[in-house]
Amino acid sequence: MKRATLIAIAALMLSGAAVSQQTTATATSAAPAQATATAPSTAVPAPTVAKPGLYLGVATCANSGCHGSTQPLNASRVLQNEYYSWLNRDRHAQAYNVLFNDRSARIARNMRLKGKAYREKVCLDCHSTSVTPAMTAGHVDLEDGVQCEACHGPASGWRDEHTQAGWTHEQSVARGMIDLRAPIVRADMCLVCHLGDQTREVDHELIGAGHPILAFELDNYTETMPPHWHWNNTHGVRAWATGQVVEFRDSVANLARHARGQKWPEFSDMSCYNYHHSLKNSTWRQERGWPDRAGLPSWSPQHWAVLRMIVNRAAPGQRAQLEDLVNQLALKVARMNDPAGVAQAADAAKRIADGLVPAVDRMNWSDSDVRSLMSAIADDQDFIRRSDVHSAEQVALTLQSLGSSLTRRDSKLVKGPMTKAIDALFDELQNRDDYEPSRFAQKLAAVKATL
């Protein structure tokens, strides 16, 4: 356990004990006086309600009787080992520590940052729970990384109350807790860092300086977090589908913002591996050709790669309109000379996606639906041959997520040919410089054969 957190927990426990002893002593010494005094008023003072919106720090959650048990308990509706799971198995707990490694130091140098990576806002905004002193009412340490309140919301308005009998989840949400049970809300929360928004993002400058290019899939990443809650329709196919449409919506919103900003063109919107490559080994790119003039950079269709299949089922009447807008975006982004047109097309795509989000979130998925969808994705090899490595990665993550939903109901599938064929897709993504669409398409055909 981190030293600062240990100290904070110890201080919290000692102060609680001291308050308890003081209260007992005061009550005992006051008893004789109260016996002869006039009967006090029966009015009960209103309880003090903490100001919501303030961060208390991870130590306030880590008591063994709350969320700090080393083993899951069956005595309540929560596991109570959430802190232990986060600290020992969740990458969010180590998010700050990676800012001390050689790669982070190199990125900071290349970015011409004034300080070390572990002190710079551009890094801390996503690698820690970085809040101002005015937003805290406890001990919030940067080294705790992405801690409880970064996702669950500042706890001052509900921490003391949420364990009381009769207190509801809805009351906590009204007092500042973020409702992560809702896939739409969880997708929005995750994508602030895993995709970016107007406050923070991994742009081309960061990528050029050495930051990894981000990939994300809500259900897949939830599974590997790992989940520290009772599974109750909070992830699975519903989360996968909802995450896809939210991610597409937010990506085109980012694109519109870039097109209206001072940094256009923003090359992080494009497919790095389409034009950062060795000409000696570029045969597949030349064989595939370009949708417009040869050699133009391409907008990456990674967020459209599997959403197309979801739209077919959720709103088939909107597929053609949305695909037309995607094609417009691809051509306009590649030419880079019409930012107003890019923004207009991206806004139109976002409006459609806004309407799709609740519709997709309400969808029900049977095993038959899942198999049919997996088959359609694995059969869509022409798209893969026209696309980029980022889109292939999104397809692989999707098939892994959908395959996992089937194995939850039938454990025999875990060691079956379907799982092995899906795992083989990731072999093609280990070295992105060596990615070859035709090989990936062949492995997609192998997945299709197992379904």
Q: What is the DSSP string of 370-387?
A: HHHHHHHHHH-HHHHHHS
What is the C-alpha separation between 20 and 264, in angstroms, rounded? 61
User: pLDDT tier at 286 (50, 70, 90 boundaries)?
Assistant: low
Q: List Cα–Cα distances, 81 to 66, 76, 167, in angstroms.
A: 8, 12, 21
- pLDDT at residue 433 in the model: 80
Contact 274, 390 (CB under 8 A): no
Token output for 38: 């006039």
What is the C-alpha separation between 371 and 402, in angstroms, rounded? 8
Geometric angle at alpha carbon 390, from 314 and 219, rounded to 5°: 50
Mean pLDDT of the chain: 86
Domain boundaries, given as residue ranges, for the chain:
3-12+51-178, 192-450
pLDDT tens for 231-263 read 767 789 999 999 999 999 999 999 999 999 988
- 28 or 194, greater pLDDT: 194
pLDDT tens for 71-105 read 888 777 889 999 999 999 999 999 999 999 999 99
pLDDT tens for 363-387 read 999 999 999 999 999 999 999 998 8
What is the C-alpha separation between 426 and 435, in angstroms, rounded? 11
What is the C-alpha separation between 196 and 90, in angstroms, rounded? 21
User: pLDDT tier at 403 (50, 70, 90 boundaries)?
Assistant: very high
- pTM, to two decimals: 0.84
